[in-house]
């Protein structure tokens, strides 16, 4: 299996502060992953601090 995290850095709060926003994404989702079984097909949209969708994470079969 693979854990895939994609964040677009071109727009919104992420474009203004990429280091801060990506750090926030990693902290938030790192703490939230306990709510998932971590099986292929699991995943969720990722939002920046302005609540704009900027990417997604997912678990896929390798």
DSSP string, 12-62: HHHHH-HHHHHHHHHHHHHHHGGGS---TT-EEEEE-TTS-EEEEEEEE--
Residues of the chain whose pLDDT is less than 70?
none
Query: What's the confidence (pLDDT) of residue 22?
Result: 96
Query: What was the pLDDT predicted at 40?
Result: 97
Domain ranges of the chain: 2-60
């Amino acid at each position: 299996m693979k854990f895939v995290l994609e964040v677009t850095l071109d727009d919104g709060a992420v474009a203004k502060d990429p280091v801060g926003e990506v750090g926030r994404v990693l902290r938030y989702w790192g703490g939230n992953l306990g709510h998932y079984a971590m099986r292929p097909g699991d995943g969720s949209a990722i939002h920046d601090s302005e609540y704009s969708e900027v990417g997604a994470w997912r678990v896929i079969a390798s």
